[in-house]
Chains A and B, each alone.
Chain A
Amino acid sequence: MKSLVPVLTVVAAIMALWYGGAVWMNSQWTLDQAARAGTEASLRAIVVDTMAQDRPILPAPHQVLSELYDTVIDKKITSKRSLVFHAWITLSATLLGFVFGTIAGIFLAVGIVHNRAMDMSVMPWAIASQTIPILAIAPMIIVVMNSVGIQGLVPKAFISAYLSFFPVVVGMVKGLRSPGAMQLDLMRTYHASRVATFWKLRLPASMPYLFTSLKVGIAASLVGAIVGELPTGAVRGLGARMLSGSYYGQTIQIWSALFMAAAVAAGLVAIVGIIQRITLRRMGLAQ
């Protein structure tokens, strides 16, 4: 609560800057119109006009909000013009990919922790993969899968899966290795098998690490799904809305898609955060 006032102040400052920017960036168009009509635009007319252009360079916040209201609340969610419809297309690919990527990542991490040869061969590559822009192969995956007849949800989910895969592997290996020598020794004095050690010590100890990488992974999954929608030629989904907006100069549409994507991302990270808090509290691991 202590930080509420500062946060609100910063948000208000951003809004003020945004309105100022809208007037400044859109005024050129207004001035051109006035010059063409042979009239002189007063300051008041400029401000009023820059707030309500059809294709502004920078739409004012209330224009974006009214577009959001229009496409989220007013349209039926089955309509192709509804932003909820597009958000769901993107979200379903994100979630499907995220689940598969996470499961695969956890399995690989378990293998790495228990098999020394696998650890030494795969782990350097998993770490190196974090430094390369794997998002660049997204268009290729879409087109290649398209040419073997797989379309729609699966290629996007595939991109989401491999983007969430590597953070989960790296985080989970760290987590499964986090129990100290003392704890592992204790398990040995209990004559615990490797399986028992895994279920009773390693897996519970890895949970904080897992959730940290899940937060990174789900944000990456969403980015992957959005980028995966670009090369298919702007049909459906939030990425497609952005691309078609940039084709046709519909800036308000881009901004509303961007805000929708931001809301989806924030919602997903928040959900993971809530699950994390509940799980860690029930496990007694909460700080």
Chain B
Amino acid sequence: MIWVIGALLFWTGAWWLNTWLAGSSLAGTRAVKLAVPVIFGVTILVVWEALVRGLQVPGVILPPPTVIGAKFAASLAILWEDFVQTFIKGALSGFIIGCAAAVGTAIAIDRSPFLQRGLLPVGNFIAALPIIGTAPILVMWFGFDWHSKAAVVVVMVFFPMLVNTVQGLASSEVMQRDLMKTYSASYWQTLFKLRLPAAMPFIFNGLKISTTLALIGAIVAEFFGSPIRGMGFRISTEVGRLGLDMVWAEITVAAIAGSAFYGAVALIEKGVTFWHPSQRN
């Protein structure tokens, strides 16, 4: 009972603190902008811990954060092995191949309006489909190891990337293209000096969407068969053994990997598209 009351008190206190911070004159500063969500996150963890202990929720339903943390620290070697298998080998290689293929295809069909009119609606249509369903087929074709996961990722990221790149290549303005013409620039010079740089915000938008898709594709594809390592494999087997602390530890890794991947792409974007209005502050 004391745990539950403690949880309620902590929640009220933290909420009061956040309301005060948000209403105070400091609300615009960077520190407060960072502190408020952190306080909220910590509150969730504390309330979770206290409620699980107070209501004596069994560990096979919801383990408390401290247990998950202990499990995480105790099985770093396994988690790292799974991370390498799923993220580095599966998701990252698929991401690079898929995005490179999509940008290449976009440049290849760039000179043919006919192909563009044909491929874009098809690409848009396919991008909305549950492509994850191709996972069992690709696992059958490429075997259980990371090659099939990379293949699923390639298929998943290809179409969003293609649509974004084609849109981006069309985004330079007539005036700018005319200027290139007055310089008597060739097609390739215009492409590399004007149109590809102008397409970068769109390309990075596609890349950012693809980071999440890549990780999802690699993890879900492992549900359809994998060697005895990998994040998706660990999640599905540990769920079967009711080892939920391990599942949560694996989910923590997935969350960190996903945010770090996205953050890395966003950071590169900041460097490449420094000229774009959305990057100025």
Contact = CB atoms under 8 A, between A and B. Distances in A.
Interface of A: 2-3, 5-11, 14, 25, 57, 116-117, 119-125, 128, 130-133, 135-137, 139-140, 143-144, 147-148, 215, 219, 222-223, 226-227, 230-231, 238, 242-243, 245-246, 249, 251, 254-255, 257-258, 261-262, 265-266, 269
B140 A9 contact: no
Interface residues of B, number: 64
Given A137-B251, A223-B130, A11 B122 contact: yes
Contacts, number: 168
B220 interface: yes
A153 B37 CA distance: 34
A185 B244 CA distance: 52
- With most chain A CB atoms within 10 A of its CB, the pick from B39, B62, B128, B211 is B128
B212 A133 contact: yes
Contacts of B119: 6, 10
A3 B239 contact: no
B36 A120 contact: yes
Contacts of A143: 239-240, 242
Nearest to B122: A10
B215 interface: yes
A36 B144 CA distance: 28
Contact of B133 (A14, A119, A261): A261
Q: What's the dominant secondary structure at chain B's contact region?
A: helix
B128 A269 contact: yes
B239 A140 contact: yes
B18 interface: yes
B259 interface: yes
Interface stretch (B73-81, B199-207, B224-232): B224-232
B120 to A, nearest CB: 8
24 contacts: A6-B118, A6-B119, A57-B141, A116-B22, A124-B37, A131-B259, A131-B261, A131-B262, A133-B254, A136-B219, A139-B235, A140-B239, A143-B240, A144-B60, A219-B128, A231-B223, A231-B239, A245-B136, A246-B136, A249-B140, A257-B133, A258-B137, A265-B130, A266-B125
Contacts of A5: 118
B96 interface: no
Given A132-B215, A137-B251, 14 more contacts: A6-B116, A7-B118, A10-B122, A57-B141, A116-B27, A120-B27, A121-B36, A125-B37, A125-B40, A132-B254, A132-B255, A132-B258, A132-B259, A231-B236
Given A125-B40, A251-B140, A261-B129, A3 B117 contact: yes
A140 B235 contact: yes
B61 interface: yes
Nearest to B113: A6
Contacts of B129: 219, 261-262, 265-266
A219 to B, nearest CB: 5
A246 B41 CA distance: 40
A131 B117 contact: no
Nearest to A129: B255
Interface string B18-41: 110111000100001100110111
Contacts of B22: 116-117, 119-120
A53 B33 CA distance: 62
Interface centre among B33, B115, B239 (most CB of A within 10 A): B239
Given A120-B33, A131-B259, A10 B118 contact: yes
Contacts of B188: none
Contacts of A122: 37, 40
Closest 3 CB pairs of A and B: A6-B118, A121-B40, A246-B136
B235 A136 contact: yes
Contacts of A132: 212, 215, 254-255, 258-259
A6 B244 contact: no
B258 A242 contact: no
A9 B118 contact: yes
B151 interface: no
Contacts of A262: 129-130, 133
B92 interface: no
Contacts of B48: none
Interface string B129-145: 11011101101110000
B121 interface: yes
